[in-house]
Amino acid sequence: MKKTDGGITAPAGFYAASAAAGIKYQGRTDMAMVFSEKPCNVAGTFTQNIFKAAPVIWDRDIVKGKGVGQAVIINSGIANACTGEEGLRICRETADAASRILGIPADTVLLGSTGVIGMQLPLDRLVAGAKVLVANLKPDREAGNQAAKAIMTTDTHEKEVALETEIGGKKVTFGGMAKGSGMIHPNMCTMLAYVSTDAAISGTLLQKALGEIVQDTFNMISVDGDTSTNDTLLVMANGMAGNEEITEENEDYRIFYEALNEICLHLAKEMAADGEGATKLMESVVIGADTKENARILAKSVVCSSLSKAAMFGCDANWGRELCALGYSGVVFDPMKVEMWFESGDGTKKIRIFTNGAGTDYSEDEASELLSGKHVRIISDMHMGKESATAYGCDLTYDYVKINADYRS
Amino acid sequence: MKKTDGGITAPAGFYAASAAAGIKYQGRTDMAMVFSEKPCNVAGTFTQNIFKAAPVIWDRDIVKGKGVGQAVIINSGIANACTGEEGLRICRETADAASRILGIPADTVLLGSTGVIGMQLPLDRLVAGAKVLVANLKPDREAGNQAAKAIMTTDTHEKEVALETEIGGKKVTFGGMAKGSGMIHPNMCTMLAYVSTDAAISGTLLQKALGEIVQDTFNMISVDGDTSTNDTLLVMANGMAGNEEITEENEDYRIFYEALNEICLHLAKEMAADGEGATKLMESVVIGADTKENARILAKSVVCSSLSKAAMFGCDANWGRELCALGYSGVVFDPMKVEMWFESGDGTKKIRIFTNGAGTDYSEDEASELLSGKHVRIISDMHMGKESATAYGCDLTYDYVKINADYRS
């Protein structure tokens, strides 16, 4: 398994395109399409928010129905959430228009939207944009990169990943793209993320793998604690690698699972690191928990704490805030047993800051220097058992407030 | 029942004092004492955080034990939380020293601390400070005001309240003081708050009233979602008003309950409005919920949303964020039935922004003007039942980040 340069178009048979449809932004692309030569088995996980955006409802019906998709159309600028019946009609008409141009069934056209909640999408611009997208579809690196750029909102850079592995003697490739970077607090995941692969795998196993992987990847990141109305993670597998289709949990499945996990973890961490206004990636590792679920809750509580996030921005070793976040997580533990360390992202520096119910006599200067890095790890050993989990977040900065006090302007 | 000018010393027999003990701050007072001529029945509620600060453990033992208190000593600057056995020893020795000077049992001396987590308190300065406090105890308005100032950390102003009512033909007075203003996300309450009254009421009924009242007052405010290690709310009743002791839930109890509720609500709202960096009070009213518990969860979800809080700072009518917060609260409801309004704090302006699953055609200018006020109300009618709840929070501002990126310096 090796990471390669590339994105959503890396696997065989995948095309992408972008277009500037003028949906809300001016002077930038705001629509993207991903298209596979052959129909794909498609799996997905979606927001748990009661207010599900119209494209989430549309995609969920496809994933839970035939589970087959061949194209995805995504727009940025307007989320098509809280838009009532009219929002659903716009989804239907967009898919219908794309299906006619592409010559594929409308119920294999998946949709994704991100941006302002509550505004209606301009259907005429969407349809005109879809025509441009189809005309520009290309299977190359550049087309994938342009698609990854077109789906951004407040992201500072596009998020792409690709990797190769071998399954049953055949080279299999995975590609992915995603966008953050606010309203990020996954339950399912929170954001838009798309993964392509030319592996052959049954729809059932694809959904099973994704459902498990999302728990320790996208569901373990948080930027601001707000679970979006639009969160969507889709995986499309078109089988063009020529491997024997994976239909049981054998060695081929294990390799596929590991590769998909790697892709999802990469995109999830990138999303956390590029959270709105973020200057650093905050990684919370919990070890020695009694159950896996408790490990996850504890790890996430730390990256969700506004006070811990603000202290990280200030490179202030105010570790009481991380302990405090463990303490109000709802998990029961013995506070006298907890040990805590700060560690630099590359693992070269590690400082024990708390043990036996009180702080150690660590050097504030060393701690502050460690915390000034772009990637900081907080390790909490609960000394209760053997379960562990890792959560990813980012610091809370002036820019987060700036971006969100005036998002719609 | 009428509010009067005054604070913790308003009821008969209550004294207060402040002192500059140099615990952490320089050039300001950082210790306060409240003392009652006669022993009080005392009730309290405390943080649910697993990491309970040493003074919380100390006070809880008193409240759950004899339930009698006569003095409270509070310091700001250092929280005495996550301080292990040494932190508990400092509590014991402080109470012992005060008990000798005051000539009262050590287990009637309550303690409170607020400030940085993880540092040890300097015992010698605490004891020296306690001597100054006792020497300066006075029953007047000014002494109460100085005590309210001494317990502040990042608060921009002291928080006091007093009111008078009549129980069984006797004038009964209540006083209160509190401090916020960060790490405010109550479960119990989050903060330090002290209420005095000269009413005569049994310890059992005092605790019962407080336990109920806290649910709809202090437990309904949030500044930043972080439940502190030190949250403490104490009520001391010394019986000096001369009313017949309230020992059952009769008309006297009802009047007492209403007055105590009014005091707690006043202090809770002041705490939310003076949240760290806040420019406005954000009030989330949920009506038409199916259960009281769901009404509370929904109302709090809105004031806890970082994105909603940042939009409020920007006076941006980005109502999708409030709906989104209702949607991820965990409460099940029909999104098509929800109605939402923005209302000015004084109730003179009200704009319906959402109904039938989509936004209304309200005027953005009018909405933005309404949101520019110092007190904004968001009303959500779930159309599911008859239960309601109100939560209080504040906007998320540059100053919140500034205060918390560099709190310890």
Position A24 scores a pLDDT of 86
**Predicted confidence (pLDDT) at residue A351 exceeds the cutoff of 50:** yes
| CA B117 to mean position of chain CA atoms | 19
**Predicted confidence (pLDDT) at residue B354 exceeds the cutoff of 50:** yes
In terms of CA atoms, which chain A residue is nearest residue B52?
A: A327
Point out the catalytic residue in the list A190, A197, A227, A232: A190
Tell me the chain A residues in contact with residue B362 when contact means C-beta distances shorter than 8 Å: none
Q: Are A9 and A140 in contact (CB under 8 A)?
A: yes
Q: Are B277 and B372 in contact (CB under 8 A)?
A: no
Position A222 scores a pLDDT of 78
Q: Are residues B269 and B286 in the same domain?
A: no
Last residue of a domain, one of A241, A273, A305: A273
Q: What's chain A's average pLDDT?
A: 90
Tell me the chain B residues in contact with residue A331 when contact means C-beta distances shorter than 8 Å: 50
Q: Are A183 and B323 in contact (CB under 8 A)?
A: no
- Which CATH number belongs to the domain containing residue B80 in this structure? 3.60.70.12
Q: What is the DSSP secondary-structure string of B107-164?
A: GGEEEEEEEESSPPP-HHHHHHHHHHHHHH-B-SHHHHHHHHHHT-SS-SS-EEEEEE
Q: Hey, of B226, B294, B383, B394, which one would you mutate to test binding to chain A, going by the most A CBs within 10 A of its CB?
A: B226
Tell me the chain A residues in contact with residue B406 when contact means C-beta distances shorter than 8 Å: 314, 316
| CA pseudo-torsion sign A43, A48, A49, A52 | positive
Look up residue B218 and give its DSSP letter. Answer: G
Which of the four pLDDT bands, split at 50, 70 and 90, describes residue B409? very low
The percent of residues above 70 in pLDDT, for chain A, comes to: 95
Which of the four pLDDT bands, split at 50, 70 and 90, describes residue B190? very low
Q: Which of B85, B331, B405 sits opposite A311 (nearest CB)?
A: B405
Check CB contact under 8 Å for B82 and A323.
yes
Q: Are residues B7 and B104 in the same domain?
A: yes
- Residue appearing with tokens 């036996």: A356
**Predicted confidence (pLDDT) at residue B181 exceeds the cutoff of 90:** no
Question: What does the pLDDT average to over A337-351?
Answer: 95
**Predicted confidence (pLDDT) at residue A267 exceeds the cutoff of 70:** yes
- Amino acid letter, residue A403: I
Which of the four pLDDT bands, split at 50, 70 and 90, describes residue A186? very low
Distance between CA atoms of residues B161 and B57, nearest Å: 27
- Residue appearing with tokens 């405390």: B46
Instruction: Give A377 to chain B, closest Cα distance, Å.
Output: 18
Look up residue B31 and give its DSSP letter. Answer: E
**Structure token digits, residue A299:** 């790890």
Q: Hey, of B185, B401, B403, B406, which one would you mutate to test binding to chain A, going by the most A CBs within 10 A of its CB?
A: B401
Question: What does the pLDDT average to over A388-392?
Answer: 93
Look up residue B265 and give its DSSP letter. Answer: H
Last residue of a domain, one of B273, B290, B308: B273
**Predicted confidence (pLDDT) at residue B183 exceeds the cutoff of 70:** no
| pLDDT tens-digit readout, B109-127 | 999 999 888 889 999 999 9
**Predicted confidence (pLDDT) at residue A189 exceeds the cutoff of 70:** no
Check CB contact under 8 Å for A83 and B333.
no
* Residue, of A399 and A189, whose pLDDT is higher: A399
The helix/strand/coil state of B327 is helix
Distance between CA atoms of residues B70 and B246, nearest Å: 20
Q: Are residues B109 and B215 in the same domain?
A: yes
| pLDDT tens-digit readout, A291-314 | 999 999 999 999 988 888 888 888
Tell me the chain B residues in contact with residue A307 when contact means C-beta distances shorter than 8 Å: 182-183, 224, 226, 404
Phi/psi at B70 (5° precision): -130, -20
Q: Are residues B247 and B350 in the same domain?
A: no
What CA–CA distances, in Å, run from B326 to B6, B286, B316, B351?
A: 39, 10, 18, 19
Q: Which of B120, B304, B327 sits opposite A229 (nearest CB)?
A: B327
Q: Are A327 and B118 in contact (CB under 8 A)?
A: no
Last residue of a domain, one of A273, A302, A317: A273
Check CB contact under 8 Å for A82 and B398.
no
Q: Hey, of B404, B408, B409, which one would you mutate to test binding to chain A, going by the most A CBs within 10 A of its CB?
A: B404
- Beta bridge partners of residue A187, listed in sequence order: none
Check CB contact under 8 Å for B311 and A228.
no
Q: Where is average pLDDT lowest: A90-99, A250-259, B230-239?
A: B230-239
* Residue, of A190 and B387, whose pLDDT is higher: B387
- Specify burial of residue B114 (Cβ count, 10 A radius: 0-12, 13-18, 19+): buried
Q: Are residues B269 and B296 in the same domain?
A: no
* Residue, of A50 and A283, whose pLDDT is higher: A283
Tell me the chain A residues in contact with residue B323 when contact means C-beta distances shorter than 8 Å: 51, 82, 117-118, 229
Distance between CA atoms of residues B57 and B19, nearest Å: 24
Q: Are residues B214 and B80 in the same domain?
A: yes
| CA A58 to mean position of chain CA atoms | 19
Distance between CA atoms of residues A296 and A285, nearest Å: 9
Tell me the chain B residues in contact with residue A327 when contact means C-beta distances shorter than 8 Å: 49-51, 227, 229
B135 C-beta neighbours (distance < 10 Å), count: 10
Pairing mode, strands B375-381 and B281-289: parallel
Tell me the chain A residues in contact with residue B229 when contact means C-beta distances shorter than 8 Å: 320, 323-324, 327
Q: Are residues B79 and B179 in the same domain?
A: yes
Check CB contact under 8 Å for A50 and B328.
yes
Q: Which of A79, A225, A316 sits opposite B406 (nearest CB)?
A: A316
E strands along B146-222, which residues?
159-167, 170-179, 192-197
Q: Are residues B151 and B125 in the same domain?
A: yes
Position A184 scores a pLDDT of 57
Q: Are residues A158 and A227 in the same domain?
A: yes
- Beta bridge partners of residue A33, listed in sequence order: A17, A73
Check CB contact under 8 Å for B336 and A84.
yes
Check CB contact under 8 Å for A182 and B318.
no
Q: Are residues B203 and B322 in the same domain?
A: no
Check CB contact under 8 Å for A310 and B401.
yes
- Which CATH number belongs to the domain containing residue B322 in this structure? 3.10.20.340
Distance between CA atoms of residues B241 and A373, nearest Å: 61
Q: Are residues B213 and B102 in the same domain?
A: yes
State the number of CA atoms in the 13 A half-sphere of B301 facing the CB. 23
* Residue, of B10 and B45, whose pLDDT is higher: B10
Q: How many domains does chain B have?
A: 2
Supply the pTM of this predicted model. 0.79
Check CB contact under 8 Å for B335 and A182.
no
Distance between CA atoms of residues B53 and B118, nearest Å: 10
Question: What does the pLDDT average to over B54-63?
Answer: 94
The percent of residues above 90 in pLDDT, for chain A, comes to: 64
A338 C-beta neighbours (distance < 10 Å), count: 24
Tell me the chain B residues in contact with residue A325 when contact means C-beta distances shorter than 8 Å: 226
Q: Are B49 and B250 in contact (CB under 8 A)?
A: no
Distance between CA atoms of residues A219 and A213, nearest Å: 9
Q: Are residues B264 and B138 in the same domain?
A: yes
Position A278 scores a pLDDT of 86
| pLDDT tens-digit readout, A356-368 | 888 899 999 999 9
Check CB contact under 8 Å for A311 and B409.
no
A190 flagged as catalytic: yes
Instruction: Give A266 to chain B, closest Cα distance, Å.
Output: 25
| pLDDT tens-digit readout, A218-228 | 888 877 666 67
Position B184 scores a pLDDT of 58
Instruction: Give A12 to chain B, closest Cα distance, Å.
Output: 38
Instruction: Give B299 to chain A, closest Cα distance, Å.
Output: 15
Check CB contact under 8 Å for A50 and B398.
no
Q: Are A179 and A114 in contact (CB under 8 A)?
A: yes
Instruction: Give A317 to chain B, closest Cα distance, Å.
Output: 9
Instruction: Give B143 to chain A, closest Cα distance, Å.
Output: 33
Q: What is the ipTM of this complex?
A: 0.73
Q: What is the dihedral of CA B204, B210, B212, B217, to 10 degrees?
A: 180
What CA–CA distances, in Å, run from A195 to A39, A259, B163?
A: 15, 11, 63
> What is the three-state SS of B344-378?
ECCCCCEEEEEECCEECCCCHHHHHHHHCCCEEEE
**Structure token digits, residue B14:** 């209550």
Instruction: Give B144 to chain A, closest Cα distance, Å.
Output: 31
Pairing mode, strands B14-19 and B192-197: unpaired
**Structure token digits, residue B254:** 């009802």
Tell me the chain A residues in contact with residue B50 when contact means C-beta distances shorter than 8 Å: 326-328, 331-333, 335
Q: Which of A82, A226, A316 sits opposite B358 (nearest CB)?
A: A82
State the number of CA atoms in the 13 A half-sphere of B147 facing the CB. 41
Question: What does the pLDDT average to over B34-51?
Answer: 89
Contacts of A389 (CB under 8 A, 6+ apart): A216, A220, A285, A286, A289, A292, A295, A296, A298, A299
Q: Hey, of B280, B300, B307, which one would you mutate to test binding to chain A, going by the most A CBs within 10 A of its CB?
A: B307
Look up residue B181 and give its DSSP letter. Answer: -
Distance between CA atoms of residues A131 and B172, nearest Å: 77
Position B224 scores a pLDDT of 67
Catalytic residues of B, which ones? Answer: 190
Question: What does the pLDDT average to over A188-206?
Answer: 82
Check CB contact under 8 Å for A50 and B326.
yes
Which of the four pLDDT bands, split at 50, 70 and 90, describes residue B231? confident
Check CB contact under 8 Å for A326 and B50.
yes
Q: Are A42 and A62 in contact (CB under 8 A)?
A: yes
The helix/strand/coil state of B48 is coil
Contacts of A381 (CB under 8 A, 6+ apart): A287, A288, A338, A339, A340
**Predicted confidence (pLDDT) at residue B388 exceeds the cutoff of 50:** yes
Domain coverage including residue B358? 281-405
Peptide bond into A181 cis (omega under 30): yes
Q: Which of A52-56, B177-181, B395-399 ranks highest by mean pLDDT?
A: A52-56
Residue closest to A177 by CA, chosen among A270, A114, A92: A270
**Predicted confidence (pLDDT) at residue B337 exceeds the cutoff of 60:** yes
